[in-house]
Amino acid sequence: MKPGRLYRVACLAFGAALIASGAAMAKDEPKRGGILKFVVPDEPPSFDGHKETTFALIHPIAPFYSVLIRVDPDNPASLTDFVCDLCTEMPKPTDDGKTYTFKIRKDVKFHDGTPLTAKDVLASYQRIIFPPPGVSSGRKSQYPMVESVTSPDDETVVFKLKYPSGAFIPAVASPYNFIYSKAKLDKDQKWYESNVMGSGPFIFDKREAGARITGKRNPDYYRKGLPYLDGFEAIFAKKQSLRVQAIRGDQAAIEFRGFPPKSRDDLVKALGKDITVQESDWNCGLTLTPNHEKKPFDDPRVRRALTLALDRWGGSKDLSKIAIMKSVGGIVFPGHPLGMDKAELEKVAGYWPDIEKSRAEAKRLLKEAGVTHLKFTMLNRNVDQPYTIAGTWMIDQFKKIGIEASQRSEPGGQWFAGLRNGDFEVGITANCQSIVNPLLDVSTYLSSKRSSQQYGRFDDPDLDKIYDKMASSGDVAEQKKLMTQFQKRVLDEQAHNFQVMWWYRIVPYRSYVKGWKISPSHYLNQDLSGVWIDRDS
């Protein structure tokens, strides 16, 4: 069979599988029992959600914990819907948007039988936002707006803000914000690094170093009737081909992070109706970062020429066939109310609909800057999806305006070291976030003295001013206006950093897995309480 025909057959089968699964999902009644086996590409370094930043912690550990609020499990695709997990109702801000009062459920118990109260929520958030000396909090920097957290009684937690902020609620909904037992924390702030004891739908069973983590149903879970599964087994498997084969050979039912299009097509072709696929835009962006300290990238005209060379609209169609990249967008996640729509985006350099005009302008800018025969190397991560594939695509794009680019792919450690030390001309980086929270997410583009993740090594006080005004504004319309200004400055006027493309999440899984809904982040909606197994369907 010719590759083109093979692809069409795979697409048809995939479409049929999607439709079939959609129809099936509508009529399915949850069933109880069974062990869900899933593969995880990495092993979490520790068990402490407050400390770690990898999704490898979320997939096997999140089912053991409850959180204060979370994305709506019934509609995880929504970028703005947050619902209570431990609280009784989503609070309305008071005090001009500076106070949030959460009421905590009274029927929640930790897995050791002790009741969970507001004091536990308070202890957990104080550890996250104001960690005591010697304690690492991976997301402390996401709460610059919080002035204090208090708990006047066992049912109430109050967050007082320094200024009203639209970034607050999404930050509280971080899937890493596990609620820990105050009693355990009082005894040892690091107890949770090597122990698990939460109040979530599953109880920790065991960890086999490097191999798996298993959990069993929590019979006293406060959401009656849940979870459906008897337990789960998270199997660590580093190699992608093995994870695909594991699903094919039914050694695992799902991998929640996602696979490239080719693996989806292979699985659909091999398993037909036994495989279901869910897809979504992905809150991970691939960015190109010129090092402003290296000539000629200190010249905005040269940087602008680079972004003008990229045919994002055309590239999206081609790359989405082979890589986990698809969505074209600015630095705000596509579809978010604070982001730019297509019409606005098409006015920004690098997003013009006419690529020939764009490239002509790029050549003109290079000539004006006196840069002829530009040659540079991009520092990249030696991971195929999507880093090196995107790097190869960009080399071809740059060639079209006469730039001779190459890529130097390094292992994770060396890649980070190169970015941090400024040992690169142009860097290919990625920014993966859990909750879509543009007001916080774009802070990585601030001046280098304010953002440790800004590898371009530039300072732009005007950009910082726009950000500060936006972050402290309580008015959504004003925020949107300022965010557009911010994006134009980063992407176009100064061309500090370029969003190459957003990732695209493809999760093919065994059709007997029911009740799981994809979200725009592989960190979200992973407590597994609503997932069930139906091998008869």
In the complex, least distance from residue 141 CB atom to another protein, rounded to whole angstroms: 5
Q: Which is nearer to another protein, 41 or 300 (CB)?
A: 41
Q: Which is nearer to another protein, 191 or 313 (CB)?
A: 191
Q: What's the CA gap between 445 and 453, in Å, rounded?
A: 8
Q: Which is nearer to another protein, 37 or 292 (CB)?
A: 37
- Within residues 282-301, the interface with another protein by CB under 8 A covers 284
In the complex, least distance from residue 53 CB atom to another protein, rounded to whole angstroms: 5
Q: What's the CA gap between 100 and 148, in Å, rounded?
A: 11
In the complex, least distance from residue 432 CB atom to another protein, rounded to whole angstroms: 4
- Within residues 121-180, the interface with another protein by CB under 8 A covers 134-138, 140-142
Q: Please give the distance of CA 171 from its chain centroid, rounded to a whole number.
A: 13
Q: Which is nearer to another protein, 284 or 332 (CB)?
A: 284
Q: How many Å is the Cα radius of gyration of the chain?
A: 24
Tokens 């692809």 found at = 7
* Position among 99, 101, 114, 245 found at the interface with another protein (CB under 8 A): 245
- Does residue 50 sit in helix, strand or coil? coil
In the complex, least distance from residue 45 CB atom to another protein, rounded to whole angstroms: 5
Q: What's the CA gap between 179 and 489, in Å, rounded?
A: 39
- Does residue 535 sit in helix, strand or coil? coil
Q: In whole angstroms, how far apart are CA 47 and each of 145, 198, 207, 482, 533?
A: 27, 11, 10, 39, 27
In the complex, least distance from residue 119 CB atom to another protein, rounded to whole angstroms: 25
* Position among 24, 35, 183, 270 found at the interface with another protein (CB under 8 A): 270
Q: Which is nearer to another protein, 158 or 270 (CB)?
A: 270
Q: What's the CA gap between 325 and 294, in Å, rounded?
A: 29
In the complex, least distance from residue 156 CB atom to another protein, rounded to whole angstroms: 29
Site map (CB under 8 A) of another protein, residues 310-329, x = contact: --------------------
Q: What's the CA gap between 496 and 459, in Å, rounded?
A: 10
Spatial contact of 317 and 326, defined as CB atoms under 8 Å apart: no
In the complex, least distance from residue 22 CB atom to another protein, rounded to whole angstroms: 25
In the complex, least distance from residue 132 CB atom to another protein, rounded to whole angstroms: 11
| CB burial of residue 181 (10 Å; 0-12, 13-18, 19+) | buried
Q: Which is nearer to another protein, 333 or 352 (CB)?
A: 333
Site map (CB under 8 A) of another protein, residues 50-89, x = contact: --xxxx----------------------------------
Lookup: tokens for 163: 């200024």
* Position among 158, 242, 322, 369 found at the interface with another protein (CB under 8 A): 242
Q: Is 417 in the site for another protein (CB under 8 A)?
A: yes
Q: What's the CA gap between 508 and 239, in Å, rounded?
A: 16
Please name the residues in contact with 305: beta carbons below 8 A apart, sequence gap of 6 or more: 361, 362, 363, 365, 366, 369, 371, 401
Please name the residues in contact with 493: beta carbons below 8 A apart, sequence gap of 6 or more: 300
Q: Is 504 in the site for another protein (CB under 8 A)?
A: no
Q: Which is nearer to another protein, 301 or 450 (CB)?
A: 450
Spatial contact of 253 and 235, defined as CB atoms under 8 Å apart: no
In the complex, least distance from residue 301 CB atom to another protein, rounded to whole angstroms: 28
Q: Which is nearer to another protein, 79 or 371 (CB)?
A: 79
- Within residues 428-487, the interface with another protein by CB under 8 A covers 429-433, 443-444, 451-453
In the complex, least distance from residue 275 CB atom to another protein, rounded to whole angstroms: 11
Stretch that binds another protein, among 79-87, 409-417, 467-475, 476-484 (CB under 8 A): 409-417
Q: What's the CA gap between 386 and 269, in Å, rounded?
A: 23
Spatial contact of 158 and 150, defined as CB atoms under 8 Å apart: yes
In the complex, least distance from residue 269 CB atom to another protein, rounded to whole angstroms: 12
Spatial contact of 363 and 401, defined as CB atoms under 8 Å apart: yes
Q: Which is nearer to another protein, 98 or 496 (CB)?
A: 496
| CB burial of residue 427 (10 Å; 0-12, 13-18, 19+) | buried
Q: Which is nearer to another protein, 55 or 467 (CB)?
A: 55
In the complex, least distance from residue 27 CB atom to another protein, rounded to whole angstroms: 25
* Position among 412, 462, 475, 478 found at the interface with another protein (CB under 8 A): 412
Please name the residues in contact with 93: beta carbons below 8 A apart, sequence gap of 6 or more: 99, 100, 164
Q: Do you know the residue count of the chain?
A: 537
Count the residues of the shown chain that bind another protein, applying the rule CB under 8 A. Answer: 59
- Within residues 3-42, the interface with another protein by CB under 8 A covers 39
Residues that bind another protein (CB under 8 A): 39, 43, 45-46, 52-55, 134-138, 140-142, 193-194, 208-212, 233, 235-239, 241-242, 245-246, 248-252, 270-271, 284, 411-414, 416-418, 420, 429-433, 443-444, 451-453
